[in-house]
Amino acid sequence: MSDPRVAGAGVTKFGKHPERTGRDLFAEAGLEALDDAGVDPDDVDSLYYGNFMGELAEHQGHQGPLMAEAIGLDAPATRFEAACASAGVAVRGAVQALRNGEADVIVVGGAERMTNIGTAGATDALAIAADDLYEVRAGMTFPGAYALMTRAYFDQYGGSHEDLAHVAVKNHEHAMVNDHAQIQKEITVEDALEAPTIASPLGLYDSCPITDGAAAAVLTTESYAEDHGLDAPVAISGTGQGGDNLALQDRSHLAQTPAADKAAEEAYADADVGPEDIDVAEVHDCFTIAEVFAIESLGLYERGEGISAATDGETDRHGDQPVNLSGGLKAKGHPVGATGVAQLATITWLLDGSHPRADAVPDGTVGVAHNAGGTVASTTVHVLEVAE
């Protein structure tokens, strides 16, 4: 069993695209990925596609075959849905299928159209990733849920809103050279602290934007890549998935994310690496506190120590443990169904040296992508390595 290779990737500009449909966005990313890989569409065995709110935002279900048609594939297509981890779960399914010998080439991707339904509409649509009976009907939104988790973390481990502001400042600065990023604007700690409150203690700059966009990657077996002379130096060597109770009141922890713990443990064991081997990480920072949860669950920091990582400069592009060199969801944007594959593309480009922030990890050989759904009731973790 060999590790699947990332043969090519494509990502749209993330942001507001009121004139474009989901299929149009995915066509751009998917065709770019196929062209980057140099793979004939006739060789593609399957499309694994992530999407969360298509029925609500575009009145469109059954998106798998629609997206296959959009990129010229005559192949079976399956839509994966795990809230904000939809694309990560699609990647995991593709990795397993390639390893099991069920396919030689799989296009994995995702897309989301969100801005067309406005802030209130998108907030309502996102909320259905929570427990409708016990959370949504009581007025829970995701800013409110993450505010509760933030308070629980501060109560248990300490930290402050200023620490979270440093996360936002870092990720905004990282996004400045990322042409795919929705927000290319530097901010200061004072900007973040003085911004309007969204759900105390979280403010405007603690929250990722509402985003339209798509991402795709072509994954192949090592033998297919070699037989067809593909330039595919980055392999997916580890995959893991974890879960937790959907509603916050049913969780054993509010200041930790056990689903991500489980996913990381599984992915590391699969890849035969440990946290100490990770050179760079792309994590699911839908809110600034989520980056803190992620780097602790990934074992990059001990419990209670992740809160000061950005403040101390350890996770910026000059630090020893760079995190979210793309700008993260915070500044790159978060088109929900595309995010997990966009992370995969970013790590691939960082490791092969083609990303504009690759100079931050010039000797990097191992990266990790962490994609979470809802309040981290679903999580996938993937380890990527430069193949020997």
Set 17, 166, 180, 334: catalytic member:
334
Known catalytic membership, residue 355 = no
What backbone torsions phi and psi does residue 95 show, to the nearest 5 degrees?
-60, -45
- Best CA proximity match to 383, nearest among 346, 344, 354, 333: 344
Phi-psi region of 59 (alpha: psi -120 to 50; beta: other; left: phi over 0): left
Set 17, 84, 161, 355: catalytic member:
84
CA gap 105, 99 in Å, rounded: 11
CA gap 211, 25 in Å, rounded: 12
For 363, counting Cβ atoms within 10 Å of its Cβ (0-12 exposed, 13-18 middle, 19+ buried), the class is exposed
Beta bridge partners of 371: 380
Known catalytic membership, residue 84 = yes
Phi-psi region of 376 (alpha: psi -120 to 50; beta: other; left: phi over 0): left
CA gap 38, 80 in Å, rounded: 25
Please identify every residue annotated as catalytic. 84, 334
